[in-house]
Amino acid sequence: MSDVITNFYLHQLPEAELNNNILQAPCPFCMGKKGEKQGRMVVFLNQESFFHGYFRCLNRCVAGGFPLHFARMRGISLAETPGYDPDRDYFGREIDYPVKNLNNELLSFTDKLTTELHQSFQTGGVTPEVLAELQIGYNGRYLVYPYVQADGNCYAARCVHPERAEDFFWYGDERFFTEKFRLFNTQEMEHCENGTLFLVEGEQNLLPLKQLGLPGIAVPTAADLEHLEPLRLAWIQTIFLWVNHNAESEAMAKAFATRVGYKVRIIRWPEDAPRNTSLFQLATETKALLQKTVFAMIREAHAFSPFPSPAGEYHTFNERLRQESDDTYTNLTSGFAKLDRALGGIHGINIVGGTPKAGKSAFFIQIASAMALRKLPVLYYDFENGRQKIYARTLCRLSRLSLEQIKGGTLSAEERGRLQQAQQTLQHCLRWLRVVNDRKLTPETMRRHIDFLRHETRSDYTVVVIDSLHKLPFKDISQQRSGIDGWLRQLEAIRDELAVSFLVISELERAADGQFDRQPHLGSFKGSGDIGYSADNAMVLLPNWDPFDNSPPENRINDLWLVASRERSPGKVGSYLLDFPYWGFTEV
């Protein structure tokens, strides 16, 4: 089915022949030009191509372009041309240009191009016709690149040494030396309205593209991209950005693409391309293969998209799926059989609330150290107990000795052996368990900690323990709720970006009588309405013993309840007997 652009050209070129999405016809602009033979015009009409609607004369009698440029040159009503917008404003129309210009001087400069200079351009396949089209000349020492403005006149030119590109100066009206006018072949932007345009670094690098019949403009250096106003390119649908193959130019290209957005497609150099390669050098090296090479690189160029590429997205999904099938992922468990069965392992954001002195910290320290002993990297952000207490309680549990026994020093030979073994185990564990007491913690710092520990332990996964959510740093204590919710958003992002599992301690809300609910539910959590939205699993640890009962501590049992889960059924997880005095729990 023909589209409006194809119909437009078929109507305007009645003698045209359409074959394989290419329209050919006698060029309507060649007639009457110095008695030269009329050339052929080609129009590219593949609707899936970025150059759909682009026309050019094979004789180069006029500059090529898209339908609106064709209509202006033919004197056709723009209102009858596809893509016309009467409300568009074009850069340069509002400028009062001076009377004096360099047009006549350009003619004398073009006449001074020497045979040697023509031969140097020929090494890149650039013919005299292209040099004449862009009015490139020579002043006896420097190549002259004219910067023609929107009114068709030249008021300034950049003069560049033929052998040393860093040796240059501006010539002409200094008002047109400024950054906003540093755009070579600027009139091509209007020719390519609603279409595609190349933007390259360096005037010389534009020449091979023009030789291939492609439309383009150039900035003197990649640094000038910073001053190119995106509004000047508002009516261009697609921009192929091609800079030299070096880190500085590529960084400038990415910054420009970030400002302009989706329409920019950065041409990427092959991995084996030498550093500092330019487009003109590529033309010199590939010669007859340039057209094939250029179009292959065009096909590989990707839009500067806010989304990952489909291929990259699928690769990430497949890689994550593979990781979740390996032993490391399935090994992300707490060590408590009922808890692991209820949750399917420690994955995602797991928030546990509990009453004061219910043993939340001891419960998490036990899980964290058990995972670290299985060589799973664990970051323990502690704002409650202090690093010394965490290590001491872990040593008690590993040695089956009370803290008083360890400090007292009156141990039997068998107890000293257990303590020595536990000390060695703890020392080994600390390679995988890192305790952080930084009360100025930020999400960015947390990301750096995670990256470091993953690199240090050569692990794809990290477990992060936070004790507790309500003591995470935020700016103003009066904004605690919004601060907690902000942290929860950050934890979600870190979970998704870095494959991190979280164990987070939360406080519970007291009822009006100052007591805690005996029946756990999602509303039990203190200070945040977002826990129910952020947590993959929300749990409550409640003592199943009377705090005023004088029964021995070793008889105390806590019940753990799953009150909300994205994938699991809520209910009682299990009961946990206090392992007194060793700062741990045993699953009943």
Residue 549 scores a pLDDT above 80: no
Residue type, 537: N
- 436: part of which helix (H) or strand (E)? strand 433-436
At 119 the three-state DSSP class reads: helix
Q: Which domains does the chain have, with CATH numbers?
A: 4-80 (3.90.580.10), 103-307 (3.40.1360.10), 327-587 (3.40.50.300)
Q: Name the more confident of 392 and 303.
A: 392
At 369 the three-state DSSP class reads: helix
Give the model confidence (pLDDT) of 411-466 as tens digits.
999 999 999 999 999 999 999 999 999 988 999 999 999 999 999 999 989 999 99
Distance CA 344, CA 197 (A): 54
Distance CA 504, CA 497 (A): 18
How far is C-alpha 50 from the geometric centre of its chain's CA atoms? Answer: 24
Model confidence, pTM: 0.62
Whether 148 contacts 187, CB under 8 Å: yes
Residue 521: band (very low, low, confident or very high) from pLDDT cuts 50, 70, 90: confident
Distance CA 150, CA 92 (A): 5
Percent of the chain whose pLDDT exceeds 90: 75
Strand pairing report for 40-44 and 462-467: unpaired
Closest CA relative to residue 155, chosen from 104, 109, 228, 222: 104
How far is C-alpha 45 from the geometric centre of its chain's CA atoms? Answer: 34
Distance CA 493, CA 491 (A): 5
Give the model confidence (pLDDT) of 93-138 as tens digits.
788 999 999 999 999 999 999 999 999 999 999 999 999 999 999 9
pLDDT reported for residue 406 = 93
| Residue 116 backbone dihedrals phi, psi, to 5 degrees | -60, -40
Residue 331 scores a pLDDT above 90: no
pLDDT reported for residue 317 = 85
Task: Tell me which DSSP letter residue 525 carries.
Answer: B
Does the CA dihedral 228-231-235-239 come out positive or negative?
A: positive
Tokens encoding 252 = 């400038």
Whether 302 contacts 264, CB under 8 Å: no
pLDDT reported for residue 35 = 60
